[in-house]
Amino acid sequence: MASREQFSSRTGFIMAAAGSAIGLGNIWGFPTNTASNGGAAFVLVYFLMAFCLAYPALMAELIIGRHSRSNIMTALRFIAPNKSSRILGTGIGLYGVLIASLILSFYGIVAGWMMTYLAESVTNMAGWTEASAWLTGFSFERNMISMGIFMLLTMAIISSGIEGGIEKWSTRLMPMLLVIMVALIIYVFTQPGAMEGLKVYLLPDISQIKPALIIDAMGQAFFSLSLGVGTMLVYGSYLSEKENLPKLGVAVTLVDTGIAFIAGLLIIPAIYVAQHNGTTIVTDDGSLIAGPDLIFQILPSLFNSMGDIGVFVAFAFFALMTIASLTSSISMLEVPVSLAVEETPANRRQATLIIGGVIFCFSTIILLSFETLFEFVINLTTVYSQPILGVMLCIFTGWIWHRDNLLKEIKAGHPEIEGTWFWKIWPGYVKFFCPILILLAFFQSIAS
Ligand code: PHE
């Protein structure tokens, strides 16, 4: 492992890690959750969860990753002090790799839809009605082709490695995303109805804070920071010794929650602008519209109402969704690819091709029995597996890893850390609080 690659700069790492974190989870999941959990109260709890629970877990992954300089499985085996904990580490590592791959298999389908709507904005401009109908119709062919193209893009970036692939593309794509989003917000704010949405988004009604909201906020924070499946662990493994990990973790958490907040600033007012234009925005049970309808009905109807400029706005928005998905999907694919490169004779290119092919097959199987498998895989991975894996990683860090080694690793790149709050609070925090809180959320979510 002598020639192991690294991120070339701190900014490169932050862009890549933020690129992984920022995705459909922020721009779709967060506004959707906010809409279905009563608005600003959810936003408040989400921020609390992100910093009090997800940030410490993120630090566990970054620290293990940088210390062991390897993929999740090899890393856990490396820090395990004895045979039984090594077996446990292997099991958790393989489970994480499987879940990362399964997340990519449904994520690729949804990202494919974003690409078809992107293409549709072009066929719409050109007046090709038949092509537009095909692109927005829900056919197996459309779904498979768009997912396949998205997977090929993901594979192309991953086979180029860390600096030339992940870092280069994240650094290019992330700022673009912010620019597109801010432009859209400025437009939406000039529209009638937007201010009503802004109030729902910003003025919390504390009575809305119920157990279900807390669980949703926690799940959202976990998914959004790409935790549990070894993504942040493997990105941490490409970080230089010199970097100050607690600070980098704060930067990534701030950027991720910041973008989620900005996405909400766009989407929630957009819902009310759509209402102003005659679209029904509440479902039969009285809750605000959410899920696929939010992105694929409310927003296109908003774009249509804009007149000629609408197709351009649609183009910008779906380009943004595709970009955000791509910088996340590459981080998912990196999890199994890094394992294969480090543990088998395969090189990066071969590993990417084979693993990408297998995940493409997973996705195709999901598409073939969409009704039964799609929701099932999402729940299996994000609701059930990510929190369990998060607990396991906290337990590994807090209970199994030798404390001296752990502290030595945090100290690298940050020698004066002993005087800080982080040093005093974090080790005990991941040992006790994080596992207990995550488990609590997990059992609550099963019970409901
Ligand atoms: N954080 C990504 C998002 O918000 C999803 C993701 C989950 C990425 C797990 C990597 C690993 O869309």
- Condensed to tens digits (0 to 9), the pLDDT of residues 216-227 reads 788 888 899 999
Residue nearest to atom 6 of ligand 1 (CA): 226
What is the CB < 6 Å shell around ligand 1? 20-21, 23-26, 103, 223-224, 226, 229, 231, 328, 331-332
Closest ligand 1 atom number to CA of residue 325: 12
Q: How many CB atoms lie within 10 A of CB 87?
A: 12
The best mutation among 177, 223, 325, 389 to test binding of ligand 1, ranked by most ligand atoms within 8 Å of the C-beta, falls on: 223
User: Which residues sit opposite 282 in a β-bridge?
Assistant: 288
Distances from the Cα of 185 to the Cα of 180, 205, 230, angstroms: 9, 24, 34
The best mutation among 227, 231, 385 to test binding of ligand 1, ranked by most ligand atoms within 8 Å of the C-beta, falls on: 231
Distance (Å) from CA 194 to ligand 1 centroid: 29
Distance (Å) from CA 241 to ligand 1 centroid: 25
Q: Which of 69-73, 296-300, 340-344 has the lowest mean pLDDT?
A: 296-300
Confidence (pLDDT) at 303 = 82
Confidence (pLDDT) at 351 = 96
Confidence (pLDDT) at 208 = 82
Confidence (pLDDT) at 3 = 53
Confidence (pLDDT) at 234 = 92
Distance (Å) from CA 330 to ligand 1 centroid: 10
Closest ligand 1 atom number to CA of residue 332: 10
Sorting pLDDT into bands at 50, 70 and 90, what band is 294? Answer: confident
Q: What is the mean pLDDT of residues 323-340?
A: 93
Distance (Å) from CA 225 to ligand 1 centroid: 6
Provide the phi-psi class of 69: left if phi over 0, else alpha when psi is between -120 and 50, else beta: left
Q: What is the mean pLDDT of residues 410-436?
A: 84
Structural Rg of the chain based on CA atoms = 21
pLDDT of residue 445 exceeding 70: no
Confidence (pLDDT) at 123 = 94
Residues 6+ apart with CB under 8 A from 60: 393, 394, 396, 397, 398, 430, 434
Sorting pLDDT into bands at 50, 70 and 90, what band is 1? Answer: very low
pLDDT of residue 211 exceeding 80: no
User: Which residues sit opposite 288 in a β-bridge?
Assistant: 282
Distance (Å) from CA 401 to ligand 1 centroid: 26
Residues 6+ apart with CB under 8 A from 215: 441, 444, 445, 448
Confidence (pLDDT) at 420 = 83
Residue nearest to atom 10 of ligand 1 (CA): 226
Q: Which residue has the tokens 């692109």?
A: 135
Mean pLDDT rounded to a whole number for the chain: 88
Distance (Å) from CA 212 to ligand 1 centroid: 22
Residue nearest to atom 11 of ligand 1 (CA): 226
Q: What is the mean pLDDT of residues 232-242?
A: 89
This prediction's pTM: 0.89
Distance (Å) from CA 335 to ligand 1 centroid: 12
Residue nearest to atom 9 of ligand 1 (CA): 226
Confidence (pLDDT) at 290 = 67
Decide which of 152 and 161 is more confident: 152
Confidence (pLDDT) at 401 = 86
Q: How many CB atoms lie within 10 A of CB 291?
A: 13
Distance (Å) from CA 336 to ligand 1 centroid: 15
pLDDT of residue 255 exceeding 50: yes
Distance (Å) from CA 22 to ligand 1 centroid: 7
The best mutation among 224, 233, 381 to test binding of ligand 1, ranked by most ligand atoms within 8 Å of the C-beta, falls on: 224
| Maximum mean pLDDT: which of 153-167, 261-275, 291-305 | 261-275
Distance (Å) from CA 106 to ligand 1 centroid: 12
Encode the chain in three state secondary structure: CCCCCCCCCHHHHHHHHHHHHCCHHHHHHHHHHHHHCCCHHHHHHHHHHHHHHHHHHHHHHHHHHHHHCCCHHHHHHHHCCCHHHHHHHHHHHHHHHHHHHHHHHHHHHHHHHHHHHHHHHHHHHHCCHHHHHHHHCCCHHHHHHHHHHHHHHHHHHHHCCHHHHHHHHHHHHHHHHHHHHHHHHHHHHCCCCHHHHHHHHHCCCHHHCCHHHHHHHHHHHHHHCCCCCCHHHHHHHCCCCCCCHHHHHHHHHHHHHHHHHHHHHHHHHHHHHHHHCCCCCECCCCCECCCHHHHHHHHHHHHHCCHHHHHHHHHHHHHHHHHHHHHHHHHHHHHHHHHHHHHCCCCHHHHHHHHHHHHHHHHHHHHHCHHHHHHHHHHHHHHHHHHHHHHHHHHHHHHHCCHHHHHHHHHCCCHHHHHCHHHHHHHHHHHHHHHHHHHHHHHHHHHC
pLDDT of residue 129 exceeding 50: yes
Q: Side chain identity at 206, as an amino acid letter?
A: I
Sorting pLDDT into bands at 50, 70 and 90, what band is 2? Answer: very low
Instruction: Judge contact between 336 and 97, C-beta under 8 A.
Output: yes
Confidence (pLDDT) at 112 = 96
Residue nearest to atom 7 of ligand 1 (CA): 226
φ, ψ dihedrals at 282, nearest 5°: -110, 145
Distance (Å) from CA 23 to ligand 1 centroid: 6
pLDDT of residue 154 exceeding 80: yes
Residue nearest to atom 4 of ligand 1 (CA): 25
Q: What is the mean pLDDT of residues 74-91?
A: 93
Closest ligand 1 atom number to CA of residue 25: 4
Distance (Å) from CA 195 to ligand 1 centroid: 30
* Token output for 398: 């807090």
Burial class, 374, CB count within 10 angstroms (exposed 0-12 / middle 13-18 / buried 19+): middle
Q: What is the mean pLDDT of residues 401-412?
A: 80
Confidence (pLDDT) at 444 = 72
Q: Which of 204-208, 242-246, 382-386 has the lowest mean pLDDT?
A: 382-386
The best mutation among 331, 377, 393 to test binding of ligand 1, ranked by most ligand atoms within 8 Å of the C-beta, falls on: 331
Give me the sign of the Cα torsion angle 390, 245, 224, 360. Answer: negative
Q: What is the mean pLDDT of residues 88-114?
A: 96
Confidence (pLDDT) at 291 = 66
Q: What is the mean pLDDT of residues 137-149?
A: 95
Decide which of 299 and 329 is more confident: 329
